[in-house]
Amino acid sequence: MKLHKESKGTLIIAVLFIAFIGAISVYYLQLWSLAVLVPLLVMLGLIFWFFRVPERAILDHRENVVAPVDGKVVMIKEVFEDEFLKEQCIQISIFMSPLNVHICRYPVSGEVIYKKYHPGKYLVAWHEKSSTKNERTTIAIKSLTDHTVVFRQIAGYVARRIVFYCNVQDEAKAGHEFGFIKFGSRMDVFLPLNSEILCKIGDKTKGGIDVIARLKD
């Protein structure tokens, strides 16, 4: 199983911690140490699972908006995006549990025209106000169809580190990685009002594969 590069620091700390606790439990608890070691090894296994990098065949897209993350669609609504677009648009929000793949992918192809990091709170990621109150990043892309699409990585109650690698003027390719969020979190995508929405609340998405909307001229 291939692991994401962001796993290195977390895994080193986890392995050292488990080795330390394991050594103490074996020394003091002897046969009873299994009661401590088994849950710790299960936790280590879950950390490995969290940082997995699945192999996916990413297609080329022009009008299609692909799911930027693995997760569950929790919101589809008309909102006013007040940071960059300054207009009404359709917001699609996808919540990621700690068991989902947490690689963040471009939802559309085009050029990165804006990026900004915002420090903030750590409300639970499915909370509606987490989009504007939580630690987050905002990225905008001018799509190949000449639409402007904005999307946000949002930290949740558990997630405490957002990573994004893109820069302004970078080429964006739908379905390809641009960042990572550690543990439970959320992604919001803001689309033009006339976009054709192809997902519904409750849908499970596979990042880079599932088409959630289509941009219209």
Tell me the whole-structure pTM to 2 decimals: 0.84
Spot the catalytic one: 7, 109, 131, 185: 185
User: Phi and psi of 101, rounded to 5°?
Assistant: -65, 130
Let me know the angle formed at the C-alpha of 195 by 193 and 198, rounded to the nearest 5 degrees: 130
Q: What is the pLDDT of residues 43-66, one digit of tens each?
A: 888 888 878 888 899 999 999 999
CA atoms within 13 A on the CB side of 174: 26
Q: Is 185 a catalytic site residue?
A: yes
The predicted structure's pLDDT at residue 79: 95
The predicted structure's pLDDT at residue 187: 92
The predicted structure's pLDDT at residue 211: 98
| Tens place of pLDDT per residue across the chain (217 aa) | 688 788 788 888 888 988 888 888 877 777 667 777 888 888 888 888 878 888 899 999 999 999 999 999 999 999 999 999 999 999 999 998 888 888 999 999 999 999 999 886 655 545 555 565 678 899 999 999 999 999 999 886 554 578 889 999 999 999 999 998 876 688 999 999 999 999 999 999 999 999 999 998 7
Nearest in space to 118 (alpha carbons), one of 75, 149, 153, 80: 153
The predicted structure's pLDDT at residue 6: 81
User: Phi and psi of 102, rounded to 5°?
Assistant: -110, 20
